[in-house]
Structure 1
Amino acid sequence: MGPAIAKRILDQTNIDPNLRAKNLTPQQLNEIIHSITSNQIAIEGDLRREVQGNLKRLQAINCYRGIRHRRGLPVRGQRTSTNARTRKGPRKTVGVIRNKDAKAGKV
């Protein structure tokens, strides 16, 4: 749940947004819980399942975003020539197979 949905729930329940969670009364907590369940807001495992389902759908229809997800590359148009190490993972060094007859230092 993000800040926008949290603010919407607090507006519906007439609870002060500046109030800390530890200072909420049991009645206010029950109102928040009721608001979340009645509006059918996805939280915890349900939200994770929903997001995973969306990604699988994108991959199944072979759209650009699905292909980028499948390959582990950036999805939103970032450059990949020099950056994107977080998404691509650590560098994989590529070795060269040398000729056995080649002498060191001679071409």
Structure 2
Amino acid sequence: MPRLLGVEIPAKKKVAFSLRYIFGIGPQRADQLVQEASLNPDMRAQDLTEEQLNKILHLITEHKWVLEGDLRREIAGNLKRLQAINCYRGIRHRRGLPVRGQRTSTNARTRKGPRKTVGVSKAKEASA
């Protein structure tokens, strides 16, 4: 398995698809990298030479893209900042509710988690 930026990319998949396993590289950036590195789009990741891997790494650093750990840290920092200033979005993140105005009376199960049934418990009958 080829290794880029500390991530093992799948060897059996085409290069453009295997590059997407790096956090921060999506379909457009992956296609752009393949095109700029002048690689065959039908090439599999296992067929990449050391020189081609270095060329991809050089292109990533040349574009100054924020990827992997740095990007994850930046996103986490943004969420912590929103929560620290007690803005509406930060409060919604803290409570685990939808942030962007979706309804919560029904739906929203992905954010809220599985239903928690609240039942009425019977009081034990008072024996006289």
TM-score scaled by structure 2?
0.64
| The structure with more radius of gyration | 1
State which of 79, 87, 91 in structure 2 corresponds to 1:67: 91
Q: CA distance change for structure 1 residues 90 and 10 in 2, over 3 Å: closer, same or farther?
A: same
User: Partner of 2:60 in structure 1?
Assistant: 36
User: Partner of 1:12 in structure 2?
Assistant: 36
User: Residues 1-107 of structure 1: matches in 2 within 5 Å?
Assistant: 1-96=25-120
Gaps of 5+ in 2: 1-24
After superposition, give the CA deviation of every residue in 1:15-37 in whole Å (9 maximum; x if it has no partner): 23332211222211110011112
Gaps of 5+ in 1: 103-107
TM-score scaled by structure 1?
0.74
Q: CA distance change for structure 1 residues 32 and 86 in 2, over 3 Å: closer, same or farther?
A: same
- Report how many residues are paired: 102
- Looking at structure 2, the residues matched to 73 and 11 of structure 1 have their Cα atoms a distance apart, in angstroms, of 41
User: Partner of 1:105 in structure 2?
Assistant: none
Structure 1 segments of 4+ aligned residues over 3 angstroms from their partners = 95-102
Q: CA distance change for structure 1 residues 100 and 26 in 2, over 3 Å: closer, same or farther?
A: closer
- Looking at structure 1, the residues matched to 52 and 44 of structure 2 have their Cα atoms a distance apart, in angstroms, of 12
CA RMSD of aligned residues (A): 2.4
Find the residue that maps to 1:17 and give its secondary structure. coil
After superposition, give the CA deviation of every residue in 1:5-56 in whole Å (9 maximum; x if it has no partner): 2222223322233322112222111100111123232222222111111211
Higher relative contact order (CA 8 A, sep 6+): 2
| Letter in structure 2 aligned against 1:83 | N
